Amino acid sequence: MRWLDLIQQVPDSQPHGAGNPLISRVMGDSRQVGHGDLFVAMRGQISDGHRYIPQALSQGAAALVVERDIPGDLPVPWAIVPDGRTALGLLSAARWNHPSRKMTVIGVTGTDGKTTTLTLIEALLHAAGLRTGLVSTVGARIGRRKQDTGFHVTTPDAPAVQAFLAEMVTHGTTHALLEATSHGLAQQRLAGVDFDVAVITNVAHEHLDYHGTPDAYLEAKARLFRSLARSYRKPNRPKIAVLNADDPALARLRRERADRQITYGLDRPADISATAIELSPGGTRFTVITPAEQWPAYLPLPGRFNVYNALAAIATGLGLGLPSTVMRKGLAQVRGVPGRMERIDEGQPFTAIVDFAHTPQALTQALRATRGMTEGHVIVVFGCAGLRDVQKRPLMGQIAARLADRVIVTAEDPRTESLDDIMEQIAAGLRSAGAQEGKTFWRIGDRAAAIRFATRLAGDGDLVLVTGKGHERSMCFGTTETPWSDQDALRAALRE
């Protein structure tokens, strides 16, 4: 695609310089720039991409997009744009000929349950015989190809998102599913994606280290819903918002325009709800109530919180016109999500589970769910990440003290923070809720040793829950990512 055709895709851009080169790729990372590429320079939290313009030019950049005037003569055409991150998304979409306009695109955001809800929606669509592609924090699935999206990835950057969408189009995908994290939305990584359905799971205490305030965090989530009114309109595809009627964010998100708003919930009036919920360690049975009918459902996932995830998926399916028979079949065929209430069985006489719960609400839900899976003790292993939301650390300690019988506090990506300081902040919450160190809670910084200690505490019929890492395959100490797997560590401890 030619430079002048591309730059016209960015509102309020100011082109400069002569020439109209053919653009190979759109890149936001100067280290990846090659011959014929367009480099978009952006101001970041840590570094300023404008510093790397000479590097991009030396590597063969054919054009530049910048956020401020560049003094002196440049050897390539360039343009000033109001926001480089938005421009990166719009230019990437145009480079791939707007792939999201050729599919129905569903975005799921929220503090907890995003990946599980995406997986459930995908199961309903598969049961209907539709071809899907999915990009989540766990990985990307396109046709038969699966690809990791990185170690501690939120939403991939805009060029990667658009490349995934273009690959989906090539594979004949009809429905694209994207996990929309608050970081990804705030950083415009989904700019240029034309959404048709926006889904919210919940909005709880998380990521205040980045967003600053709960209101700013919610506003980042609201961007997904705001994009519905601005997105390209596809023939016979209404813009649908799927909202949690039980979540305090409902009133705020209702203000965003959509052709149709569908609510789901268990406690307050909603379009989609459930009754006769029967929880068991192996799955959940409930009756789905819609405006038109009621029908029995079985979900092979435990926990009341997964009923919420299922209702969000059902509301999405209803908005897309899926019949109840198809949705019932799809739910029953779900086989779990890596790192989400994932059972680890090495023949031990107690239950062992790995879960991603890393927020106060998610930890609450996970512990309540596990309490219903055993008549024995619940033993939880968890930590809190460094350089992240500090306020949640004592809260999670209090939750663990109230809902678990034994607690082991350990490392979870301490980064450049003191692990001892992080564990003390959690321990303060434990003590304030009545837990006693050495009797009901312990601090063991080595995560593998903490998991081994938990398995040795466990007796017949007890339950060990290891939370915070879930699907992730690395742990960050200092600035170094070290390979790590809770599943592997738990299996090793159980075999010992």
Q: What is the pLDDT of residues 273-314, one digit of tens each?
A: 999 999 887 899 999 999 999 999 999 998 899 999 999 999
| 399 within 8 A of 363, measured Cβ to Cβ | yes
Please report the pLDDT score of residue 207 as a whole number. Answer: 55
- Class at the top of the CATH hierarchy for domain 97-332: alpha beta
What is the CATH code for 3-94? 3.40.1390.10
Please report the pLDDT score of residue 152 as a whole number. Answer: 57
| 474 within 8 A of 151, measured Cβ to Cβ | yes
Domain boundaries, the chain: 3-94, 97-332, 342-495
Cβ neighbours around 335 below 10 Å, total? 8
- Class at the top of the CATH hierarchy for domain 342-495: alpha beta
Q: What is the pTM of this model?
A: 0.86
Determine the average pLDDT of the residues in 439-456.
98
Q: Which of 264, 265, 355, 359 is nearest to 316 (CA)?
A: 264
What are the tokens at 131?
């071809």
Q: Is the pLDDT of residue 212 over 60?
A: yes
Which 3-state string (H, E, C) describes 110-154? CCCCHHHHHHHHHHHHHHCCCCEEEECCCCEEECCEEECCCCCCC
Please report the pLDDT score of residue 180 as a whole number. Answer: 92
End-to-end Cα separation, the chain, in angstroms: 59
Return the amino acid letter for 409.
V
Q: Which of 170, 147, 200 is nearest to 96 (CA)?
A: 170
Q: Which of 121, 154, 144, 152 is nearest to 337 (CA)?
A: 121
Q: Is the pLDDT of residue 210 over 80?
A: no
**Rounded distance, CA 295 to CA 223, Å?**
34
**Rounded distance, CA 372 to CA 159, Å?**
44
Coil vs helix vs strand at 107: strand
Please report the pLDDT score of residue 344 as a whole number. Answer: 95
Express each pLDDT in 72-129 by its tens digit.
889 999 999 999 999 999 999 999 999 999 999 999 999 888 999 999 999 999 999 9
Q: Which residue has the higher pLDDT, 463 or 212?
A: 463
Please name the residue that has the structure tokens 């678990």.
404
User: Which of 58-72, 86-100, 129-143, 197-211 shows the lowest per-residue confidence on average (mean pLDDT)?
Assistant: 197-211
Please report the pLDDT score of residue 303 as a whole number. Answer: 87
| 237 within 8 A of 208, measured Cβ to Cβ | no
What are the tokens at 26?
């759109």
Express each pLDDT in 324-333 by its tens digit.
999 999 999 9
Rounded to the nearest 10 degrees, the angle between the axes of helix 392-403 and helix 360-371 is 10
- Name residue 134's beta-bridge partners: 141, 177
Please report the pLDDT score of residue 112 as a whole number. Answer: 87
Q: Is the pLDDT of residue 496 over 80?
A: yes
Percent of the chain whose pLDDT exceeds 90: 81
DSSP H helices, 171-303, are 182-186, 208-211, 214-230, 250-254
Confidence of residue 372 (pLDDT cuts 50, 70, 90): confident
Q: Do domains 97-332 and 342-495 have the same CATH topology?
A: no
Please name the residue that has the structure tokens 């596809």.
234
Determine the average pLDDT of the residues in 211-231.
88
Determine the average pLDDT of the residues in 386-410.
95
Express each pLDDT in 131-189 by its tens digit.
999 998 778 899 878 877 655 556 888 999 999 999 999 999 999 999 998 888 989 99
Please report the pLDDT score of residue 477 as a whole number. Answer: 94
Return the amino acid letter for 312.
A
Q: Is the pLDDT of residue 211 over 60?
A: no
Q: Is the pLDDT of residue 7 over 60?
A: yes
